[in-house]
Structure 1
Amino acid sequence: MILAESPRRQRVTKLVNWGHWFALANIIIAIVIASIFVFSSPMPGTGVGTLYLLTNWLGHIGFMTFFGFVIFILPLCYLATNPRAIKASASIIAAVGLALLAFDALLFNRTGFHISFHAADLLKTEAQTQISEFYWQQWAYLFMLFLVWLGFQLVLANAIWKRVERFSQHKIGVPVASFFVVCFVTSHAVHVWADAELYQPIIKQDNMFPLSYPATAKTTMSRYGLLDLAAYEERKQLQFNTDIHNINYPAEPVYCSIDSGMNMTVIVQIDDAPISGIDTLGLNALENYHSTASSLRGLITTTLFGVPEIYQDSLSQKRPVLLALPVGLGMPVSTHFDESLPDDLFKSYRQPLSNNHNGLHIAFLPASVIEGYVTQDMLQSNKVMIATGYGNESSQGMLYSNMSLSADIASTEDLAPTIMNALGCAAPTTFYSTGQNLLNPSRKWLVSTSGERIVVFHNGKRTDVLSNGSYEITEVATGKRSNAPLNVDLLSQAIKHLSRFSNQN
């Protein structure tokens, strides 16, 4: 006796087969979209790093998309009450999921972080800036674009449904599934090895894809006694990615006009002594100012170039835009260095402190000299900024000015773009600095370096991070260690911002 399948079972079988082919099509689409993550990041530069990149790209995106199919679409196939409704629902789910992936990819390309709860504040700030520039036409265009994408998913779903019997004749399920499983397992296995060896071409890819949590040696190998944790941590402390020292400065040619008749004086304190009488000058004070340079040469480089001191070796043969551009446009420029500073610093711009010519003056002086140098006459005829904080154990100082600085937080890297904008230069600050214009700030966090540590300030907390991932979070106000979790998305965005001038980008 031959038992035929019931109509319901036949519909379920056909829907499940259709669902697998629909999932495969969307896996391919997701992999193509995820190429944005790959091309937005530096290439590994090694064979093993490239192997990991390819297997992680295919394995992780394939697994993530198929997992979404199993969770959201496969249960619908077993309902089998109305195939049209199930196909429509699956198309909507796929359209929304891939649209979110595309949005995350574009967000990663722009900021270096992914959509997450940790990135909520950063995403809100970024969105407010972009949304404020949107009109109803742009919103209508985005809505129409999504409708087109949804329409494509509906067409794809119906096309597969009509041909599902023909597709089912091709027994490719096991080979395709095996391929993605091998990629997934290989990527995690290679990452365990790379984590144990602290192999940077692979470790630096950890945050490339969304929802990616690769297996690590610390959690995997140590569990079975295969990794000496003490030696592992010691090696981590010695690791650093020296590629960041290669710099392309400025990132783009800087073209702008300035007011060559303006007078501006910028003073950077080179010790941590109090400046007597500075509070009586009537200057505006920005209290949340940080000077993280670990040496005087680093402080000077950071001030004049507007980039962290980690780049100072590569900048030794370059001219800072802050000095070269005004000189090229006919504005008198001079730098004044205290007698205790090396004589080889910016020789062509050095002039004695007694020089009173009009134009731009930048001085690096101790507190005792600043007290007699800054006068009421200077404040009346010059735009003035006085930066303190170098030598302070917490790196926190004060930024005084007779200009209206509107930032909530600032660092030494912000001085150059603020000076350039005050002189009338409208060129994008990202061309020549990692800082921001304090007269019109665009972000409420900052990133700098201290020696070979990356330092991030945000929401009253300071995060010191080595390139291998070791970190310490402290409260800026008290200097005490904080138990707050590491904001990986902020750190990723900060490092991407910091690396803007690196030749590896």
Structure 2
Amino acid sequence: MILAESPRRQRVTKLVNWGHWFALANIIIAIVIASIFVFSSPMPGTGVGTLYLFTNWFGHIGFMTFFGFVIFVLPLCYLASNIRVIKASASIIAAVGLALLAFDALLFNRTGFHLSFHAADLLRNEAQTQISTFGWQQWAYLFLLFIVWLGFQLVLANAIWKRIERFTKYKVGIPVTSFFVVCFVSSHAVHVWADAKLYQPIIKQDNMFPLSYPATAKTTMSRYGLLDLAAYEERKQLQFNPDIHNINYPAEPVYCSVDVNESTTVIVQTDDAPIENIERFNLQQLTNYYSTASSLDGLITTTLFGVPEIYQDSLKNKRPVLLALPTGLGMPVSIHFDESLETSRFSSYRQPLSNEHGGLHLAFLPAATIARYLDEEMLRDHNVIIAQGYHTGSGSSKGTLYSNMALNAQVASTEDIAPTILSALGCDAPVHYYSTGQSLLSPSRNWLVSTSGERIVVFHDGKRTDVLSNGSYEITETATNKRSNAPLNVDLLSRAIMHLSRFSKQN
């Protein structure tokens, strides 16, 4: 008696074979899309880090795509009886899944965080302006683009179905599966080692891909005497992102023009006394202004360079774009210091406080001198910003930003002053080339990140998050300065750290 498979079993076997080939094709497409994550992040800079990057890239994306196939498509091959319905459903699932991956990749490229419930609020806030400008033409274009992508998936599904007998002759299942399994397992194994050794070229890749949770085994290793947790925490404090202090400034060459006929004055207060009679000038006030500098030198550095104080030592031999660009285009630039403030670094720009020329003036003065320096004529002829909020030795303090310009921001820091001034002068170069701040005339985000000592400080939604080098954190309410029980917004923190370290040199 000859035993033969039933027609249903033959159909299911053919559908399962088709599903595996369809999944493989989409794994390749997903890996190509995921290259956006790779090219949006700094390269590891070491052989081991680069090897981990590729194994994690192929292993994680391959596993994530195949897992989606097992959950959503494979059951259809056994349960549904209509082949066309199965192919159409699989094509829709693949089109939606890869479209989400592509959107997540573009979001990561632009903002540094992935799609998640934590990121939903940030995404809504920052996309609100752009989406509000969408007309029916833009929405129709996006819908048409998805239809074209869905059509490609349908064509791919049908093409594989027609050639499935030919494809089954190629015995590639074991080699391909082995490759992705080896990549997946080895990447997690290497990460366990890297996490124990605090090997930064690998650790800093933890948030590169969506839904990525690299393996760690500190507790298990300590249980068997393979890792001293106390020594681990001590090393972790010492290895807090060691490259962040070394800066590549500016990150890209800055090319733009400025209006050399504009006159702008920036006044940064160097003490915490009240400025007498400043209310009489009826200046716009931005009360959510923060200064995180811990010294006067740090205050000057963050103001002129537009980057946090943590980069100060690496900037000693560099010229700030805020000074170099206007000077190179023929605009007069001068810096005014109080007589008690000794600094020789910018002596070539130093001018007497009483000089009356136009152009760009930057003044670092105590409250008493500011009160004498301000007058109606200056406010009439100059764009003026007055930054009040530096407290000697405090490391981080809240103050007020006064201006006769139309500042349009919810929160501001000292790092925002340089891009705001350059924007007011007409420079349209991307701010992230030369600053971690943003132009307060047209802000693109409602949060800010800076540093205070070795802490990373993030301000958002009325809360301040301080993250220490050992990974511990504290959230406080900015209005009351009391501890908050709000959960840590991991996506915002990850994005903030990526934004902060964009100037760090990569070895």
* Bin of the TM-score, shorter chain as denominator length: over 0.9
Distance change >3 Å, CA 300–CA 173, structure 1 → 2: same
1:486 partner amino acid = L
Distance 1:223 1:341 in 2: 56
Distance change >3 Å, CA 468–CA 93, structure 1 → 2: farther
Distance 1:482 1:78 in 2: 52
User: 2:125 matched to 1:125?
Assistant: yes
2:427 alignment partner in structure 1 = 425
Q: Residues 267 and 385 of structure 1 are in contact (CA less than 8 Å); yes or no, is this contact kept in structure 2? A: yes
User: 2:198 matched to 1:198?
Assistant: yes
Distance 1:82 1:453 in 2: 60
Distance 1:423 1:58 in 2: 47
State the SS of the aligned residue for 2:315.
coil
Distance 2:326 2:177 in 1: 62
Aligned counterpart for 1:450 among listed residues 449, 452, 458: 452
Instruction: Report the CA distance between 1:380 and its aligned residue.
Output: 4.0
Distance 1:426 1:67 in 2: 45
Distance 2:248 2:203 in 1: 22
Q: Residues 91 and 154 of structure 1 are in contact (CA less than 8 Å); yes or no, is this contact kept in structure 2? A: yes
1:486 alignment partner in structure 2 = 488
Q: Deviations over 1:6-64 (max 9, x none)?
A: 22222222212221221122112211211111121111111211121111111111110
1:248 alignment partner in structure 2 = 249
The more displaced of 16-25 and 473-482 is 473-482
2:320 partner amino acid = P
2:359 alignment partner in structure 1 = 359
State the SS of the aligned residue for 1:243.
coil
Distance 1:163 1:235 in 2: 57
1:348 alignment partner in structure 2 = 348
Distance 1:211 1:258 in 2: 47
State the SS of the aligned residue for 2:118.
coil
Distance 2:154 2:410 in 1: 49
1:413 alignment partner in structure 2 = 415
2:128 partner amino acid = Q
Q: Residues 11 and 80 of structure 1 are in contact (CA less than 8 Å); yes or no, is this contact kept in structure 2? A: no
Distance 1:44 1:424 in 2: 37
1:182 alignment partner in structure 2 = 182
Residues 263-282 of structure 1: pairs in structure 2 closer than 5 A:
263-282=263-282
Distance 1:269 1:8 in 2: 81
Q: Deviations over 1:75-104 (max 9, x none)?
A: 101114111111110111011111111111
Distance 2:37 2:276 in 1: 53
State the SS of the aligned residue for 2:50.
helix
State the SS of the aligned residue for 2:163.
helix
2:232 alignment partner in structure 1 = 232
State the SS of the aligned residue for 1:289.
strand
Distance 1:83 1:314 in 2: 64
1:88 partner amino acid = A
Q: Which blocks of at least 5 consecutive residues in structure 1 are unaligned?
A: none
Q: Deviations over 1:436-458 (max 9, x none)?
A: 22222222111222233322211
State the SS of the aligned residue for 2:465.
strand
Distance 1:288 1:235 in 2: 36
Distance change >3 Å, CA 44–CA 444, structure 1 → 2: same
The more displaced of 298-307 and 172-181 is 172-181
1:213 alignment partner in structure 2 = 213
Runs of 4+ more than 6 Å apart: none
Distance 1:330 1:47 in 2: 47
Residues 310-329 of structure 1: pairs in structure 2 closer than 5 A:
310-329=310-329
User: 2:57 matched to 1:57?
Assistant: yes
Superposed CA RMSD: 2.4
Distance 2:147 2:491 in 1: 30
2:142 partner amino acid = L
Q: Deviations over 1:222-241 (max 9, x none)?
A: 46664332222222111133
Q: Residues 63 and 180 of structure 2 are in contact (CA less than 8 Å); yes or no, is this contact kept in structure 1? A: yes
The more displaced of 25-34 and 120-129 is 120-129
Q: Which blocks of at least 5 consecutive residues in structure 2 are unaligned?
A: none
Q: Residues 247 and 315 of structure 2 are in contact (CA less than 8 Å); yes or no, is this contact kept in structure 1? A: no
The more displaced of 286-295 and 140-149 is 140-149
Distance 1:323 1:4 in 2: 84
Residues 95-134 of structure 1: pairs in structure 2 closer than 5 A:
95-134=95-134
Q: Residues 288 and 410 of structure 2 are in contact (CA less than 8 Å); yes or no, is this contact kept in structure 1? A: yes
Instruction: Report the CA distance between 1:468 and its aligned residue.
Output: 6.6
Q: Residues 409 and 444 of structure 1 are in contact (CA less than 8 Å); yes or no, is this contact kept in structure 2? A: yes
Distance 1:165 1:381 in 2: 80
1:67 partner amino acid = F
Instruction: Report the CA distance between 1:413 and its aligned residue.
Output: 1.1
Distance change >3 Å, CA 219–CA 136, structure 1 → 2: farther
Distance change >3 Å, CA 190–CA 427, structure 1 → 2: closer
Identity %: 79
Q: Deviations over 1:339-369 (max 9, x none)?
A: 3333312011111223333332211122233
Distance 1:207 1:196 in 2: 18
Instruction: Report the CA distance between 1:484 and its aligned residue.
Output: 2.6
Distance change >3 Å, CA 172–CA 331, structure 1 → 2: closer
1:476 alignment partner in structure 2 = 478
Q: Residues 309 and 450 of structure 1 are in contact (CA less than 8 Å); yes or no, is this contact kept in structure 2? A: yes
State the SS of the aligned residue for 2:113.
coil
Instruction: Report the CA distance between 1:410 and its aligned residue.
Output: 0.5
1:286 alignment partner in structure 2 = 286
Distance 2:502 2:51 in 1: 26
Distance 2:405 2:432 in 1: 22
TM-score (norm 1): 0.92
TM-score (norm 2): 0.92
Distance 2:142 2:87 in 1: 24
Q: Residues 254 and 431 of structure 1 are in contact (CA less than 8 Å); yes or no, is this contact kept in structure 2? A: no
1:440 alignment partner in structure 2 = 442
State the SS of the aligned residue for 1:318.
coil
Distance change >3 Å, CA 123–CA 467, structure 1 → 2: farther
2:373 alignment partner in structure 1 = 373
